[in-house]
Amino acid sequence: MVEAGGTLPVWLTLLSVKSSELANQRELAGMIGIQGATLTHHLNAMEAQGLLTRQRDPLNRRVHLVRLTEAGEALFETLRQAALVFDKRLRTGLPDERLAEFARVLAVLRENVES
Residue 39: closest CA among 60, 50, 54, 61 = 54
- pLDDT of 6 reads 64
Instruction: Tell me the CATH number at 31.
Output: 1.10.10.10
What pTM was estimated for this model as a whole? Answer: 0.75
**Model confidence at 107: pLDDT above 90:** yes
First to last CA, the chain: 41
What is the count of structural domains for the chain? 1
**Model confidence at 64: pLDDT above 90:** no
Average pLDDT, the chain: 87
Share of the chain above pLDDT 70, in %: 93
Q: Which domain holds residue 20?
A: 7-114
Evaluate whether residue 84 is within a structural domain: yes
Q: What is the pLDDT of residues 74-91, one digit of tens each?
A: 999 999 999 999 999 999
Element (H, E) at 68: strand 60-68
Question: Who has greater pLDDT, 23 or 95?
Answer: 95
DSSP state for residue 15 in the 8-state scheme: H
